[in-house]
Amino acid sequence: MDAQKELDTRGLNCPLPILKAKKALAEMGSGEVLKVLATDPGSVRDFQAFAKQTGNELLEQTRAGDEFVHFLRRR
C-alpha cells in the first residue's frame, strides 16, 4: 500500500507510537496515508482504538515476525 509518510516507532512502547502518529497525522493533508512501523504488540489494539476515537481511517494492519505495520488515512 502506498503511503505519503512513514513513521518508524520500532522499539517504542505505548503510548509513544500513538502520540507520534497523532503528531504526524496533524501535519498531513486530508486523505493522505500514514504508514507506522511498530514492535509493540499492544499497538494493534491501540491503533484500532485511536482510529475510532479520532475518526481517522485504519486501512490495514499486518504483522511480519515481531513487527507490526499500520496504515492510517487522515480524515
Residue length of the chain: 75
Active site residues: 14
**C-alpha cell read off for 2:** 502506498
Q: What is the Cα gyration radius of the chain?
A: 11
With beta carbons less than 8 A apart as the criterion, state whether 15 and 22 touch.
no
With beta carbons less than 8 A apart as the criterion, state whether 74 and 29 touch.
yes
